[in-house]
Amino acid sequence: MIQSRDQAIIVVLAVILTSTAMPSLRMANAQPGGFPGLSSTTPSTRIFYIYNTNVLGFNETKGIQKANLTSDAYSLQTILVNQGDKVIVNFYNMEAPSGDMHSFTINAPYNVNINLNPGQNGTATFVADHPGIFEFYCMHHLPGMVGELIVLPNKT
Ligand SMILES: [Cu+2]
């Protein structure tokens, strides 16, 4: 009994050591088009939750003077999906009632626009059928409040 348990521990240790010591082997076994955290190449529904936030320590007065910047930012700056994925973006304006409007906007070919008053939220759903890198931005806080939608091309 003790012997078989020891053998089991050795097997487990061997598996752990093998998997950690040979990352190249693990990479070689990855699916074609595999990407860390995005391994599925079949079209999937990917849901994102994004909020407006602020850059800590940003002096808005000086930023506006020098570059028309504000501290406003997105909580998520990169949306990474595969071509063909259904993308659902839930966007929240977390401002107090006296605060700013914020939008989540993508130009053509996606033509997404969620434009929100303080305290509102909205949802956009689209199929990521165009591969490439597309900027999303807040129409009220350019040039600082921006992010990227990255659509990885199908490998067919
Ligand atoms: Cu904004």
Cα of 138 from ligand 1 centre, angstroms: 5
pLDDT beyond 50 at 140:
yes
pLDDT, tens digit, 9 for 90 and up, residues 116-131: 999 999 999 999 999 9
Residues in the 5 Å CB sphere of ion ligand 1: 72, 102, 138, 140-141, 145
Cα of 117 from ligand 1 centre, angstroms: 10
pLDDT beyond 50 at 21:
no
pLDDT beyond 60 at 22:
no
> Are residues 88 and 46 in contact, defined by beta-carbon separation less than 8 angstroms?
yes
Cα of 101 from ligand 1 centre, angstroms: 6
Cα of 84 from ligand 1 centre, angstroms: 28
3-class DSSP assignment, residue 111: coil
Per-domain residue ranges of the chain: 1-30, 45-152
Cα of 106 from ligand 1 centre, angstroms: 13
Q: Which of 80, 102, 106 is closest to 91 using CA atoms?
A: 102
- Per-residue pLDDT, 27: 46
**CATH class (in words) of the domain with range 45-152:** mainly beta
Cα–Cα–Cα angle for 153, 148, 113, rounded to 5 degrees: 105
HSE (CB half, 13 Å, CA atoms) of 7? 4
Band (pLDDT 50/70/90 cuts) for residue 9 is: low
pLDDT beyond 80 at 14:
no
For residues 19-51, one letter each, b for 16 or more C-beta atoms within 10 angstroms of the residue's C-beta and e for the rest, the string is eeeeeeeeeeeeeebeeeebeebebeebebebe
Cα of 13 from ligand 1 centre, angstroms: 51
pLDDT beyond 60 at 103:
yes
